[in-house]
Structure 1
Amino acid sequence: MKKYTKLKIVMVIIFIFAILSSFIYYFDEIILPSVLAICDGEMRARAVQVMNKSILEKYVDEFDYEDIIKFQKDENGNIVLVQADTLKMNKIANEVSLEIQEELNNLSYQDVKIPTGYITKNNILANFGPKITAKMQPIGHVETKYSSDFETAGINQVRHKIYVEVKTNIKVILPMANEDVQVVTQVPIAETIIVGKIPETSIQMDMNKQ
Structure 2
Amino acid sequence: MRRFRRRRLRLHRKVWLLWAALAAGWLGIWLAGRSLGPVVGTVAEMETRAAALELVNRVVAEEVVGAAAGEDLVRYKTDGAGNVTLLQVNTPAVNRLAARAVTAVERELRGLTARRFTLPLGELLGSPFLAHLGPRVPIQLKPVGAVTARVRQQFDAAGFNQTRHQVLLDLEVRVRVVVPLITREVQVTTTLPLAETVIAGRVPAQLWLGAGPGTVPILPGGGGVPPGGS
TM-score normalised per structure 1: 0.78
DSSP-derived class of the 1:141 partner? coil
Query: Are the counterparts in 2 of residues 142 and 168 from structure 1 also a CA contact under 8 Å?
Result: yes
Shift of residue 123, structure 1, vs aligned partner: 2.0
Query: Are the counterparts in 1 of residues 90 and 210 from structure 2 also a CA contact under 8 Å?
Result: no
Equivalent in the alignment of 1:47: 52
| Amino acid of the structure 2 residue aligned with 1:110 | R
Query: Are the counterparts in 2 of residues 79 and 198 from structure 1 also a CA contact under 8 Å?
Result: yes
Shift of residue 151, structure 1, vs aligned partner: 2.3
Shift of residue 195, structure 1, vs aligned partner: 2.8
Query: Are the counterparts in 1 of residues 144 and 175 from structure 2 also a CA contact under 8 Å?
Result: yes
Distance in 1 between residues matched to 2:65 and 2:100, nearest whole Å: 13
* 1:1-36 alpha-carbon deviations (Å, 9 max, x no partner): xxxxxxxxxxxxxx99xx779746642432111111
Q: 2:207 aligns with which of 180, 203, 207?
A: 203
Query: Are the counterparts in 1 of residues 168 and 192 from structure 2 also a CA contact under 8 Å?
Result: yes
Structure 1 segment 56-205 matched on structure 2, within 5 A: 56-64=61-69, 67-199=72-204, 201-204=205-208
In structure 2, relative to structure 1, the CA distance for the partners of 1:159 and 1:29 (3 Å cut) is same
Query: Are the counterparts in 1 of residues 74 and 195 from structure 2 also a CA contact under 8 Å?
Result: no
Distance in 2 between residues matched to 1:78 and 1:65, nearest whole Å: 25
Distance in 1 between residues matched to 2:85 and 2:26, nearest whole Å: 72
In structure 2, relative to structure 1, the CA distance for the partners of 1:65 and 1:78 (3 Å cut) is farther
Give the unaligned 5+ runs of structure 2: 1-19, 212-230
Query: Are the counterparts in 1 of residues 84 and 199 from structure 2 also a CA contact under 8 Å?
Result: no
Bigger Rg over Cα? 2
In structure 2, relative to structure 1, the CA distance for the partners of 1:113 and 1:21 (3 Å cut) is closer
Distance in 1 between residues matched to 2:210 and 2:173, nearest whole Å: 22
In structure 2, relative to structure 1, the CA distance for the partners of 1:124 and 1:155 (3 Å cut) is closer
**Identical aligned residues as a percent:** 27
Equivalent in the alignment of 2:36: 31
In structure 2, relative to structure 1, the CA distance for the partners of 1:188 and 1:30 (3 Å cut) is farther
Distance in 2 between residues matched to 1:101 and 1:189, nearest whole Å: 19
Shift of residue 109, structure 1, vs aligned partner: 1.4
TM-score normalised per structure 2: 0.71
Give the unaligned 5+ runs of structure 1: 1-14
Aligned length: 194
Runs (4+) of structure 1 moved beyond 6 Å?
Answer: 19-22
Shift of residue 172, structure 1, vs aligned partner: 0.9
In structure 2, relative to structure 1, the CA distance for the partners of 1:147 and 1:132 (3 Å cut) is same
- Of residues 167-176 and 151-160 in structure 1, the stretch that sits farther from structure 2 once superposed is 151-160
| Amino acid of the structure 1 residue aligned with 2:104 | E
